[in-house]
Amino acid sequence: MALSAAACGGGGNTNTSGSTITFAAPVSQTGAFGQAEGLYTLQGYKFCQNTLNAKGGINFGGQSHQVTLVTQDDQSVAATSAQIVDGYNDKGYKFILSPYGSAGTTAVAPVVERNGQVMLDSNGADTAIFTHGYKNTFAVLSPSSTYVTTIIDALAALNPAPKTVAVIAANDGFSQHAAEQGVKEAQAKGMTVVPSPTAYTSSTKVAANATDVSPALIAIKGLNPDVIIVSAHLNEAVAAVKQASELGIKPKLGFAATVAPPTPAFISALGKSSEGVLGSTQWVPEITASDSIFGNARAFLTNFTTTFGWSPDQYPYQAADAAAACEALALAIEKAGSTDASAVRNALVSLKADTFYGHIEFDATGMNTNKPMYVIQIQSSAFVTIYPSNLASKQATWPAVK
Amino acid sequence: MSQLLQAAAYGVVQGGLLGLVAVGFSLVWGVMNVINLSHGALAVTGAYLAWLLNLHFGLDPFLALPVVAIALFLFGYALQRGLINLVINAPIFLTLLLTFGLGLVILNSLQLLFNADDRTIETSYASQSLALGTVNVPYGRLAACGLALAITVGLAAVMTRTRLGHSISATGMDRGAARLMGIRARHVYAITFGISAALAGVAGTMIATVGSFNPTTTPGQLTLDAFVISVLGGLGNMYGALVGGLVLGIAESVGGLVLTGTWVNAIAMAVLILTLIVRPSGLIGKAQYSGRVEV
Amino acid sequence: MSASPLALILEGRKRPGRELLAEWVRTRRLSNSWAAIALVVGFAAMLGVQQVIEPGTMRLLSAVFMFVALAQAWNLIGGFTGYASFGQVAFFGLGAYITAVLMNNSHLTFWLAMPAAIAGGVLFAVLIGLPLLRLRGHYFAIATLGAAEGSREVINNMTPVTGGGLGITIPTFGDQAPTPYFGKPGFYLAFLILAALSVAVSALLARSRFGYAMVAVHEDEAAAGAVGINTTSVKVIAFAVSGAIVACAGSIYAFQQIEFYPSDVFDPSFTVLMVIMVVIGGSGSILGPLVGAVGLELLSQFLRINLGSYNQLIFGAIIVVVVVFFPQGVVNFFRDAWRLRRISLLDNIRRYRL
Amino acid sequence: MIAPSAPADAPVPILEVRGLSRKFGGVWALRDVSFAVAAGEVLGVIGPNGAGKTTLINLITGHLRPSGGHVLVGGIDVTKQRPWVIAHDGVARTFQIVKPFRGVTVRENVAIGAMHGNHRDRSVREALETADQILELVGITHRAGSAPSELSVADARRLELAKALACRPRLLLIDEVMAGLRPQEIESAVGLIHQLRESGITIVAVEHVMKAIISISDRIVVLHHGSILTSGTPDQVLSDPRVIEAYLGHRFARRRAT
């Protein structure tokens, strides 16, 4: 079956089969992201490829084109990702799906730009990627600047809303940018940021991937913030929750963190201590839009989790990002009616599509404009959507700490 | 002030845990002149073992310690006997490279077996803490610290009072002479490495209990910590690892509070380098093996 | 005093440099110039290869060339001089950041930024070399490791200048670019030249008085001092030349990458790879690091491309096997085997086992 | 600045040590040792194990730093100078425990001395030529291409001497080059030292082999517990009852008597 969203894909079942189209991606199979975020991203790409092909591939010019996914391990090293993408260019692979993470995507973006390839960014959220005027990189996901602001918005909507928050941030681009915007949002909502609004750049800044964040926690001990927000990746967030308990630091209302809580690894690393933690996420299964490939968000979740053996309560959202990136590329190719990279790029610029991932539309910098972020809470070891309220599946347990 | 006290208290218990990580590493380095880059991987192997025992049999991590220690001892013994002894007389780089390769094999196997997710062993007590006024001392790290102290004292007693200990230190100081005394170096080395692996396993179990671990970033971090601590404390000194661990733990905790950002890490390295320049034998005493006879 | 042969020897010759140069030119033969010829032929061959390969393959080979330079650089201090630095990546990161900061913040051309990076590498080598090269063995290793980790943290925290953990970008697009981007053929050439220069510098040093001084320092510093070798300056110069090469590699690498973070260019695995390449290839020679770098980088890429999740596991296992069977390095093993007309891996294992 | 102790018109001694002392931990290895060596002289230094002989050499060549006192070479104070500076002043030495450069051949070992020592050869090629001449002089030309580890004890000592000679010293300090050698090897070594002396090199020889030291020395200094017990011509020293009693022991005394 063809993609319904495509304007020119009228042929449907009668299409003859055309040449296959290659989507190429550097993926992290070993190293820090191997068997973790890198794997989830790869699963998302694979799921997209399989589903797409089962539904008849990409249709244009009266032919249906199957998609081949080509991947190579980048060992979780950014320079290797870039090298792989250059290698793909030799083989004529113009359609690139991003590696996992901001560092890898940042390294690949200029390569794609020079080679005239097109990249769909699934999991690189650092706003820095979009400030260099790259024309060939398009991100389906929301940028880093929204990760903490959405948490603040969710907190402001809760009852009781926090009056004071503390922000701990890792020393990496993604986390610092997220914290910066988050602090502004908190102040706009009338919250007090302790120990100071710039603490995330000094006393509550922690090393990226730190497993000991006690100095930052001690810096806020005694200040009794209502909520502690951790703008960081998994290691730092896990350490923050554990060590806060060790140090007798109890936020009055609860904990929130950016990318860590909506990952199964967060629950496995914290066990019961993960209960009640809020986390911002790129995708939730309650999203209402749908498309003809994956169906709606709930159907995506059901089919994806069955295919790869995940629990529907704990799913890796990175896979949804990946599948959405892959889908956006397919839609653009169909819209362009061609496998010419610049035609596809132009099609991406004007793409407007509703998908299981929500509305996809790119602005001049390549960001998915107006895509909202969502907030989940961990309840009984399951991700529960609590924000925005129209998508909330359950009430938030609030205050989260007893 | 109360923040400083809290930081100091946390630094002490954290330092004990760090000492536990380093004690086995320091032993192997001192006795065999081998810098074991797979030490962190062995610790994480122990952590997975304790985690599995907890997951499937509900075994408390402290009760799992003997099982982990014995299993890791046997693994370590076999590694030394079957592999590391093959290049033990080679220049230091070779054992370094061998253990680096070994570490890659171990941690990639773990990653493929258990995936790369962070794991923890959940207990009802480890993340609780003893409140002394405004200062909280976490039980889990306190226990780990006590364990480090007990193990260090025990190891020192073994080394100074038992036949085995004498064999180990004699082999460490002069292998040729030890051989003349009828000590089987192959066996003694294997036992030494086995003990070190067992201690690594114990440390890994404690880390799994008070924090979390994964097969990708934890091993390298632990090996680096052990490396730094062994040098700080003084090589081959039985109490060196503990002292080095405490120094590092307190410095990171208090320094992290006083200095903004992550400058503390830069300062820690500066302290390390200064220690090396001023007192290459470590912060306490003279190194036991400084007069080593190389054969 | 009689003019006995001994007295003549003891008096020594004091010939002018011009005479020595003339003699050097006169004595050039095929037999004593083969290394230089091989280098030129190799360089030309790689230029030829460039004409027939795809740009992406050029990038892969650029990485190989870079590791050739890095391995040669490490070999100068770790192999010849016997000071195993575990912090050479500090020079790499420093070179990368000096280049990026100058090109990004000061809009300086690469042709000034790269020499500045090299100068920075030399300066840093002298600054940390003077105190640290007094330490021996493991203590030097751990101290240099500390220096590398420490310098990464300094870069990480100098946010206003370096961008800190937020990374840094070299402007390469449009009229913002202080130097037009080289592109893949350009970087292939840049790394090839760097590799060839590092091999040439190593080979020239190895055959010079300085080369013998490095070997003497490696074997015995007291004895080296007794025959008039200024051990301090030999060590510092070897460290500085090594640092200069690594900083230059870091500089070119930074320009090639465009955007990077401190953790990318201070990654300790760069140092580990340098050590592995030199030791497995055969330390203290010119060919050893060359063979080690080319062999291991190609092997690592091959495994990465073909073995998926298992590639690092197999790579680790290969290191273990090579260390056990070729403890003196592959090149040294085959050289000895050729000399003795006898190949025996068992002899090899017997040599170092307990 | 140190004033010369000799009268102004007397020739400056090539080596002078003044009040030289060195402490290890709390123990004096050498205490307040003073003597002078005139150009062209051969000075023997004897003493039992632990008397401080090797420490004395290490202090003169800068391999150890003195706890007190001064070393003057050709009237110039070189106390606390680094070893290579002293080597460039024309002072060469051998090591009691031989220290060859194991990574290179015997010939290259000697060449390293030739290219870095006092009158430095300016190219490797020249240094290798010099090495060949010196190897012939000390009689190990046939081992030129060998690795140092393959040498016999006697040849290793010769190599040690060859390395020192390659530095073209005006003052040569030899530390027990004859220990453990067979009688005929000692004889040839003695012959070589005589030859060196004739070519104008001043020699300070620390030696255990009595017969050898007597035959080569103009004067002998006896060290005991880090201090000078006595000094004088070989005959004076050997007939000194303190030396015979306290140091040389009864066996040697008896042998002298018969």
Instruction: Return the CATH number of the domain spanning residue range A145-281+374-391.
Output: 3.40.50.2300
The distance of A380 to chain C (nearest Cα, Å) reads: 33
Chain segment B208-262, per-residue pLDDT in tens: 999 889 998 899 989 988 988 988 887 767 788 999 999 999 988 888 888 877 7
Which residues, including other chains, have CB under 8 Å from residue B279's CB and lie 6 or more apart? none
Give the residue from B13, B224, B260 with the most A CB atoms within 10 Å of its CB, the best one to mutate.
B260
CB contact under 8 A, C316 and B104: yes
User: Binning pLDDT at 50, 70 and 90, where does residue D2 land?
Assistant: low
Band the pLDDT of D6: cuts 50, 70, 90. Answer: low
Distance CA B105, CA B118 (A): 19
Kindly indicate the confidence band of residue D5, based on its pLDDT and cuts at 50, 70 and 90.
low
Instruction: Give the model's pLDDT for residue C270.
Output: 93
Looking at residue D224, its pLDDT comes to 87
Identify all chain B residues contacting A201, using CB atoms and an 8 Å cutoff.
Answer: 261
DSSP assignment of C114-173, as one string? HHHHHHHHHHHHHHHHHHHTTS-HHHHHHHHHHHHHHHHHHHHH-HHHH-GGG-EE---S
Whether residue C79 lies within 8 A of chain D, CB to CB, comes out as no
Between positions 7 and 46 of B, the ones with CB within 8 A of A are 7, 10, 14
Q: Name residue D113's amino acid.
A: G
Question: Which residues of chain C have a CB within 8 Å of the CB of D196?
Answer: 6
* E strand map for chain B: 129-132, 135-138
In single-letter form, the type of residue at position B246 comes to: L
| pLDDT for D258 beyond 60 | no
For residue C306, is pLDDT > 80?
yes
Mean pLDDT taken over chain C? 90
Mean pLDDT of A159-186: 93
Closest by CA to C315, choosing from C295, C288, C330, is C295
B138 in reach of chain A (CB within 8 A): yes
d(CA A98, CA A117): 12
For chain B, give the mean pLDDT.
Answer: 87
D82: buried, middle or exposed (CB in 10 Å: 19+, 13-18, 0-12)?
A: middle
Of C10, C212, C225, the CB nearest to D115: C212
Q: What is the mean predicted confidence (pLDDT) over A206-229?
A: 91
Q: Closest partner residue to C227 among D117, D137, D195, by Cβ?
A: D117
Q: Answer yes or no: is pLDDT of D91 > 80.
A: yes
- What residues 227-256 of chain C have any CB closer than 8 A to a CB of chain B? none
Please give the pLDDT value at position D8. Answer: 58
pLDDT at A12: 45
Helix (H) or strand (E) holding A65: strand A63-65
Which of A72, A67, A77 shows the shortest CA–CA distance to A26? Answer: A72
- Binned at pLDDT 50, 70 and 90, residue D63 comes out as very high
D168/C contact by beta carbon, under 8 A = yes
Q: Is A39 on the interface with B (CB under 8 A)?
A: yes
* Residue D203, amino acid: I
Q: Which among C212, C215, C328 is the top mutation candidate for probing chain D, defined by the most D β-carbons within 10 Å of its own β-carbon?
A: C212
Q: What is the pLDDT of residues B115-150, one digit of tens each?
A: 888 899 988 888 888 888 889 999 999 999 999 999
Hey, where are the domains in chain A?
12-142+284-361, 145-281+374-391
- Contact at CB, B269 and C153, closer than 8 angstroms: yes
Q: Does the pLDDT value for residue C9 go beyond 90?
A: no
Q: pLDDT exceeding 90 applies to what percent of chain D?
A: 45
Q: What is the dihedral of CA B51, B57, B59, B61, to 10 degrees?
A: -10
Q: How close is the nearest chain B Cα to the Cα of C220, in Å?
A: 15
- Mean pLDDT for C314-323 is 92
Q: What is the ipTM of this complex?
A: 0.89
Residue of chain A with shortest Cα separation from B217: A32
- pLDDT-wise least confident of B15-19, B116-120, C10-14: C10-14
**CB contact (8 A) between residue C261 and residue A176:** no
Find the range with the poorest average confidence among A4-13, A77-86, B89-98, C254-263: A4-13
Question: Pick from C138, C268, C352: which is nearest to B35 by CB?
Answer: C138
Which long-range CB contacts under 8 A does D229-232 form with residues at least 24 apart? D229/D47, D231/D35
When the pLDDT of each residue in chain A is averaged and rounded to a whole number, the result is: 91
Residue A1 has pLDDT above 60, yes or no: no
C5 at D interface, C-beta within 8 A: yes
**Contact: C165, A208; criterion CB under 8 Å:** yes
User: CA of D255: how far to CAs of C116, D181, D239, D244, in Å?
Assistant: 75, 21, 13, 11
- Comparing A154-163, B89-98, C316-325, which segment has the lowest mean pLDDT? B89-98
Of D163, D139, D159, nearest in space to D150 by CA = D159
- Confidence tier at B93 by pLDDT (50, 70, 90): confident
> What residues in A contact B10, CB-CB < 8 Å?
214, 218, 246-247
State the pLDDT confidence band at D255, using cuts at 50, 70 and 90.
low
Higher-scoring residue by pLDDT: C185, B180: C185
Domain assignments of chain D as residue spans, ordered by start: 15-90+169-257
Partner C, chain D 97-156, Cβ-Cβ below 8 Å: 99-104, 108, 111-113, 115-127, 130, 133-134, 137
Selecting from A247, A265, A271 the residue whose C-beta is nearest the C-beta of B117 gives A265
Please report whether residue B125 resides in a domain.
no
Please state the domain count of chain B.
1
Q: Provide, as residue numbers in chain D, all residues whose Cβ is less than 8 Å from the Cβ of C218.
A: 103
User: C5 vs D108: CB contact, 8 Å cut-off?
Assistant: no
Asked if B221 has any chain A CB less than 8 Å from its own CB, the reply is yes
Mutation site for C-interface testing, chosen from D80, D116, D124, D177 by largest number of C Cβ within 10 Å: D116
| Alpha carbon distance A270, A278 (integer Å) | 14
Give the separation between CA B229 and CA B244, rounded to whole angstroms: 5
| CA distances to A137, B89, D53 from D212, in Å | 87, 40, 17
Query: What DSSP character marks residue C75?
Result: I
Q: Does the beta-carbon distance from C145 to B227 stay under 8 Å?
A: yes
pLDDT digits (tens, 9 = 90+) for A91-143: 999 999 999 988 899 999 999 999 999 999 999 988 888 888 899 999 999 99
Q: Which of D55, D59, D112, D201 to mutate to test the interface with C (most CBs of C within 10 A)?
A: D112
Instruction: Please report all neighbours of A, defined by 3+ CB atom pairs within 8 A.
Output: B, C
Q: With an 8 Å Cβ cutoff, are C183 and A114 in contact? A: yes
- What pLDDT, on a 0 to 100 scale, did the predictor assign at position D32? 92
Looking at CA atoms only, how far is residue C169 from chain A in angstroms?
9
Query: Residue B287: what pLDDT?
Result: 47
Helix (H/G/I), strand (E/B), else coil: B100: helix
Q: Considering only alpha carbons, which residue of chain C is nearest residue A89? A: C56
Q: Per the structure block, which two tokens stand in for B249?
A: 């733990």
Cα dihedral C234, C236, C239, C242 sign: negative
Whole-angstrom Cα distance, residue A95 to residue A112?
9
Q: What angle do CA A197, A200, A203 make, to 5 degrees?
A: 100
Q: D15-90+169-257 domain in CATH 3.40.50.300?
A: yes
| B157-199 pLDDT per residue, tens | 988 888 888 888 888 777 777 777 777 888 999 999 999 999 9
Domain that holds residue B240: 2-114+137-278
pLDDT, chain D, mean: 86
Q: Is the confidence at residue B290, as pLDDT, over 60? A: no
Neighbours of chain D (3+ CB pairs under 8 A): C
* C276 → chain B, closest CA residue: B97
Distance from CA of D117 to the nearest CA of C (A): 5
Note whether C149 contacts A: Cβ–Cβ < 8 A: no
Q: Decide: A and D in contact? Rule: 3+ Cβ pairs under 8 Å.
A: no
The more confident residue out of A48 and D179 is A48
Contacts of C81 in chain B (CB under 8 A): none
- C138, C139, C220, best to mutate vs chain B, most B CBs in 10 Å: C138
Q: Which residues of C touch B29 (CB under 8 A)?
A: 138
CATH number of A12-142+284-361: 3.40.50.2300
Q: In this predicted model, what pLDDT tens digit does every residue of D203-250 receive, in sequence order?
A: 999 987 777 888 889 999 988 888 998 889 988 888 888 877 766 565
Give me the residue from A31, A219, A269 closest to B216, CB to CB: A31
